[in-house]
Structure 1
């Protein structure tokens, strides 16, 4: 048989070969379990054709097993999926840009990651001189909240309380207190806010902050 014909038949045999993985694994395991002498005794003389086909099958089996092993390792190494916890309740305070030398509006922005079943927003405006309430508002419906304004010796205090049975949806919501003050640029560093909220899982959160400008 000439070499060209032999190579052609080897290619055809390799293309048609469909290795039985289970049998290959079993043969490999049996071969590894036997001592070297036993394996040498079982190996008898073979023809050139039989040796060539055996080598081709062995190479195909090794490549197949290597691919299976690589796939298995890849699957094991893949990171497990994780579930991240929702962001916590957040809040920030800022003086509204529409404020002027005689009047100001202090905004408290509450950001809820999940629906809230209770919410209390307290805004304290330090009595720096000429402080007097002129109103208040919020981005949520007015009928959802009970609002109160009281004067203390050191602060003008606004309270927004969510009514029973109402909810606040996820998102950002603004609560604002409006007031007159002494003429000039007012110092708001003494102002502060406190947010107390409960979510659907009955988890309570409290956030406090002030109106100190952030750099």
Structure 2
């Protein structure tokens, strides 16, 4: 029994010594790791895997740097957009002026051949020739007229001289005048007070000589004002060859 106990003791002693010989030398291990990393940096080879803490620290640092760059870039872009956006400016506008009665009258159209019950037409008589012409004004009224003034204006195109005038209504019912005025030969018929023009169709004509050749009646005009009941009527127009 004594011999076996001695063998067991010797075995335990050797096992203990072997276990002590395999304890890691931390200082030596760290020194070898540092030398290995330094050697890999110089040789350009891949480094050994680093402890997780170091890797996450580098990732976190890179993420923070990228976030910082993006934040600065976003601010710069926002500033640029804000500066480049067009500024809205208030524009002062003036109200549209209301035309005066005088201006409205001066812009009145040349032709307004109908007004209520009164209708009109102007034409150059087809019997006109190279030396002489007649301008006709036709009036139609659906109601009796208690006042009426008709005016014919023949533009002075050369040699225009009155040779007479007539109307289809009674001569004694009207006052008639003819005169040169403002470059026109003006004929005027005015209904006498207390007389009436019945409803119907009526004609007023002015006759005149002119220079030889076809005369242009484009500058000739006529107008008529009348009263029917309580209303005042007005018509006007130009001339065409009948």
- Show the 5 A alignment for 1:32-47: none
Greater Rg by CA: 2
> Any idea what the Cα deviations from partners look like across 1:55-111, whole Å, max 9, x if unmatched?
xxxxxxxxxxxxxxxxxxxxxxxxxxxxxxx95311100111111110000000011
- Consecutive unaligned residues in structure 2, runs of 5 or more: 1-114
Q: Which residue of 2 aligns with 1:14?
A: none
> Any idea what the Cα deviations from partners look like across 1:134-182, whole Å, max 9, x if unmatched?
0000000000000000101410000000000000001110000000000
Aligned-partner SS, 2:214: coil
Q: Which residue of 1 aligns with 2:127?
A: 98
- Consecutive unaligned residues in structure 1, runs of 5 or more: 1-85
**2:148 is the counterpart of 1:119:** yes
TM-score normalised according to structure 1 size: 0.57
Residue among 192, 201, 214 paired with 1:163: 192
Does structure 1 retain, via aligned residues, the 8 Å contact 2:117–2:143? no
Q: Which moved more, 1:150-159 or 1:113-122?
A: 150-159
Give me the whole-angstrom Cα distance separating, in 2, the residues matched to 1:153 and 1:87.
31
Does structure 1 retain, via aligned residues, the 8 Å contact 2:124–2:240? no
Give me the whole-angstrom Cα distance separating, in 2, the residues matched to 1:128 and 1:87.
34
Q: Which residue of 2 aligns with 1:192?
A: 221
> Any idea what the Cα deviations from partners look like across 1:186-211, whole Å, max 9, x if unmatched?
00010000110001x22100001001
Does structure 1 retain, via aligned residues, the 8 Å contact 2:125–2:133? yes
Give me the whole-angstrom Cα distance separating, in 2, the residues matched to 1:88 and 1:187.
31
CA-CA distance at 1:213 after TM superposition: 5.3
Residue among 145, 165, 174 paired with 1:136: 165
Give me the whole-angstrom Cα distance separating, in 2, the residues matched to 1:106 and 1:153.
19
